[in-house]
Structure 1
């Protein structure tokens, strides 16, 4: 199969907080980019940088060798891939489909099955690293699908991320991302509780952070989102509404396996309270407002 050529045309669907930076990095690497977003204005900056706007997923799919998606919800993923204007049945045979949305493992398997029927290839490759990781091209990319398809796509993944791991068959990338989100869910509660505790104890949370972030309590969320909380910056690196979606997928998958996830369920209930407070479009660090 071999690697995808440097002059390959890449279609990117979903140019939000993460997608914007990922597309810019692909353009900088010399790839030809075609873009589509339901809100056309979200692609204006990318078109100025050299990307070509397409009117629909179907139109985009017919012009490219690789389709990458970074959309919101599993329902969006299903529509983009398998709907009437979906990419699977409107692309030429041999197209590579890579869904980088955090979505359902079972849907990843379904997309791969449909792709194979039309002579194309599919990977599920959700990411972690937030807006900063996307900008700095150091995302962690968790990949499910056939090994040879993964190897072919690896040069493109290397433009967007640093920690790129093939986890197994279709759906394995999504299951890995669920593990990631489960770890983050309880950790975010701990980060918020630690910072509000330090404040109530009359300490300077920034000084406390200097002591605890390099010890056993250290985590990505503590080091990267802790300072934002202290600064009162609740802008989204990752939306509350999308985190709630991810936790729902994880709980459903865990339930299917007969697994109890107590911390995950508590975190989801707190984030749902946060959503009811009107914070669904804030960053996940806005959980701190529950404690305030």
Structure 2
């Protein structure tokens, strides 16, 4: 596809999607619903099955997908996965055509986003970092917040595609700025999750009717997305992952590393990281982040699920 072609229309644009997990499947599905031809790849082939049944073509390698895609989206687990998928010997850049665009929606390192953008530019490929917030609910409802770093021209071309997946899409600046913004987001969530868990424990010990309490506090100054969406899951002992604990741990490590590099002390984030480390040590690394209530209840001497 020519770099001069501005409109990424369903009729003329081939999309590739790498990473069909909890969020990726829904996000990719929205693009397919808009009529785009889609090639998908996932290391665990079974996880790509719903999209293949929907009409996507299954690639047998990342390279094969990249060679046949004008825009490649990636949303994988860890920075090491991003590096392998995009910069590896059989990665996206090894096979991408000049004029292609890479959109990495993984929450990853700002420095890696800059490295990818530089390597992509040498091949005539554009790259933007576009991590998301909103969890499984936001992905299903195409209501994600998408934070974008990279060249403005590349962002403007893919913005219509991003709007099929999210409601709040903001270009934050050059490569890496999307990831930095996501670190701000995760820092806010981390301490907020501690507060939500502590508040629920307080309400429980005080003998209050917790659903009634939530009605009172969720629409006031204490309201937040996490309070409205995750506190009810905690009450129902629903710890299915909208976002894995182990992925949140990764995000907090990145944020703390960046803070250290910038000579910032973030004690609230450090505490949250330690509490989630305890939660993972108890075997909950593949549960949703709302499972933090289990670790804090245990700290207070009781089993939340048996309350």
| TM-score, normalised by the number of residues in structure 2 | 0.94
Cα distance in 2 for partners of 1:234, 1:277 equals 14
CA distance in 2, matches of 1:283, 1:243: 9
CA displacement 1:6-53 (0-9 Å, x = unmatched)? 221110000000001011111101001100000000001110000000
How much has 1:204 moved relative to structure 2?
1.1
**1:134 aligns to what?**
139
- Aligned pairs for 1:1-292 within 5 A: 1=4, 2-7=6-11, 8-292=13-297
Instruction: Structure 1: state its 5+ residue gaps.
Output: none
> 1:21 touches 1:134 (CA, 8 Å); kept in 2?
yes
Q: Distance in 2 between matches of 1:203 and 1:252?
A: 40
User: How many correspondences in the alignment?
Assistant: 292
Q: CA contact under 8 A between 1:191 and 1:226: conserved in structure 2?
A: yes
Any unmatched runs of 5+ in structure 2?
298-307
- Alignment-derived partner of residue 301 in structure 2: none
Q: TM-score by structure 1 length?
A: 0.99
In structure 2, C-alpha distance between the alignment counterparts of 1:291 and 1:210, rounded to whole Å: 23
Q: Counterparts of 1:197 and 1:40 in 2: how far apart (Å)?
A: 45
Across the aligned residues of Structure 1 and Structure 2, the Cα RMSD in angstroms comes to 0.7
What SS does structure 2 have at the residue aligned with 1:263?
A: helix
- CA displacement, residues 157-196 of structure 1 (integer Å, 9 cap, x when unaligned): 0110010000000000000000000000000000000011
